Chain A
Amino acid sequence: MTELHVQSDGHEEHGHDHPEFLGHHWKNPVQQFEAGKLGMWLFLATEVLLFGGLFCAYAIWRSNHPEIFKYGSQFLDTTWGAINTGVLLISSMTMAMAVTFAARGNNRAVIVTLILTLFGAAGFMAIKYVEYNHKFHEGFYPGMAFYEQPHASDLWLPLEETAIAKKAAIAKSEAALSTALAAEDVKRSEMPSPPADAQRWNKPEAAIGPQGMTTNQESLDTAEMAVFLPPSVLGNIIDQQGELAYAEHHTPGEPVHLAHPLQDPERPANAQKFFTIYFLMTGLHGIHVVIGGVVILWLLLKTMKGHFSREYYTPIDLGGLYWHIVDVIWIFLFPLFYLI
């Protein structure tokens, strides 16, 4: 990770006052410490770029298909996610405390705070295990495995009344739409001139723009609109109405398990993509947490052996920086997946 020359071979030959931990090519401990820190920060910048690629994928997927993210996010447990955020923030604090105590030469306090940080890492992974296990149990796998469902018949939850009602409402509006379109076909063949009340629709609110159509929900009815609008524009409006109806009974942030996705008539197309990027990003973050935990364990053992002093605690400082960047990445992951 970083090149730190803890041992300086044969430093006695020089015959001048050179501490054990100081590499020969350094003028003094401060210079060595500063160089180590710069190296670590450069590494952290590459970590930001690594996750940046995944955040870019997330941004493109979400901007193309917001409905997949809105839908998939319901199946994540916001409470566990928030608790995990707290666990990481507190462990970040104990890590920063360890650095402070190390700089003051208080080894016993360093050991205590490093153990607390280690508990934080273990706690985070334990909660992540519970969450992942639940997802796997329900068959929310990344990629095509989402549709495999080896034990689907045992796991599928019964459809709730609201889902059935919504399915019926969709069918009804589709039927009304096709009736209206059929009526319009008849009208067109007989009477090509626009209807007498066409004036009614030329309201300022109802403007057709490049983004689709802004509608006044109270005065417009899908079946009526079908008479005047091309199917492409109409499709947009039906989507918007569906979204508004969905928003009315769905409080964001609260899980609404209407039905298992494979049984849910409202499951958006390619819904597995949410879980693909969820497991990819939280999985890579989880790997970082495990590595951070190993680093902290190593620091703990070195501290217990008395390797560090107030003149030399560079590994604790740099390990801490790594632990904080893991926290920073989770700070972005949490709202992007759990709070949609």
Chain B
Amino acid sequence: MSSSNHEHGAVGHIVPIKMLIGTCFALLILTVVTVWVAKLDFVKMQLSEMNILVAMGVAVVKCTIVALIFMHLRWERSFIGFVFVGSFLFVGVFIGFALLDTAEYQPSLIPGDSPQIQLKLDALDAAQATGEHGGAVHADAVVDQASSDADHDTPADH
């Protein structure tokens, strides 16, 4: 395949236009597939992890096709493939080990919104309660009020 596609005297490998169109078509089909699969309700089917697995699987296939055909990786020296695939493997190691640690702790030590967010939400509630218009100035004023009322150890967030 590689040698038969190599047009005479070319500096690099030449990929035929028809093959590029076919590749793009396949990629578009895969995009439709991944959108369609995302609409299936795997939570109901007791396969809640399935959506992300299928989505990532399709993405990896699409990425491989783009690299092999569009980026000519299929006809490159193997060292270039080593560099590129290696970068993905190292990202995989990075994410994998980070996630291993993340799973070791309680999911949420501080339930609810963060204290700073709660201040802002209280201010918005107060602004809603006192009047519907002039929200901007009013909300800011209440935030200032709330943060000065709040525990003085908490640094103001603005």
Contacts and interface: CB of A to CB of B under 8 A. Distances in A.
Contact of A144 (B71, B86, B116, B127): B116
Interface in B81-114: 83-84, 86-88, 90-91, 94-95, 98-99, 102-103, 107-108, 111-114
Interface size bracket, A side: 35 or more
Interface string B6-49: 01011110111100110110011001101100111111100000
B27 A252 contact: no
B128 interface: yes
A93 B112 contact: no
Contacts of A303: none
A38 B103 contact: no
Interface residues of B, number: 76
Greatest chain A CB density within 10 A among B12, B16, B108 is at: B12
A63 B124 contact: no
A168 B77 CA distance: 64
B138 to A, nearest CB: 9
A328 interface: yes
A334 B95 CA distance: 19
Contacts, number: 205
A41 B27 contact: no
Contacts of A12: none
B83 A59 contact: no
B149 interface: no
Contact of B55 (A86, A104, A247, A335): A335
A254 B43 CA distance: 15
A12 to B, nearest CB: 23
B58 interface: yes
Interface stretch (A29-37, A158-166, A280-288): A29-37
A143 B80 CA distance: 39
B20 A93 contact: yes
A160 B77 CA distance: 59
B contact patch SS:
helix
A151 B136 contact: yes
A101 to B, nearest CB: 8
Contact of B11 (A41, A59, A152, A310): A310
A237 interface: no
Interface in A67-102: 78, 82, 85-86, 89-90, 92-93, 95-97, 99-100
Contact of B91 (A29, A48, A93, A243): A48
Contacts of B20: 93, 96-97, 100
Given A41-B83, A332-B63, A339-B51, A60 B99 contact: yes
Nearest to B125: A262
Given A92-B24, A149-B135, A252-B51, A100 B98 contact: no
B59 A331 contact: yes
A8 interface: no
Given A82-B35, A339-B34, 11 more contacts: A33-B12, A41-B84, A52-B87, A63-B99, A90-B28, A100-B16, A153-B135, A252-B39, A253-B38, A324-B66, A334-B34
5 closest cross-chain pairs (CB), A and B: A52-B91, A339-B38, A335-B55, A45-B87, A93-B24
5 contacts: A247-B43, A269-B113, A320-B70, A331-B59, A339-B34
Interface of A: 29-30, 33-34, 37-38, 41-42, 44-46, 48-49, 52-53, 55-56, 59-60, 63-65, 78, 82, 85-86, 89-90, 92-93, 95-97, 99-100, 103-104, 144, 147-154, 243-244, 247-248, 251-254, 262, 269-270, 272, 310-313, 317, 320-321, 324-325, 327-328, 331-332, 334-336, 339-340
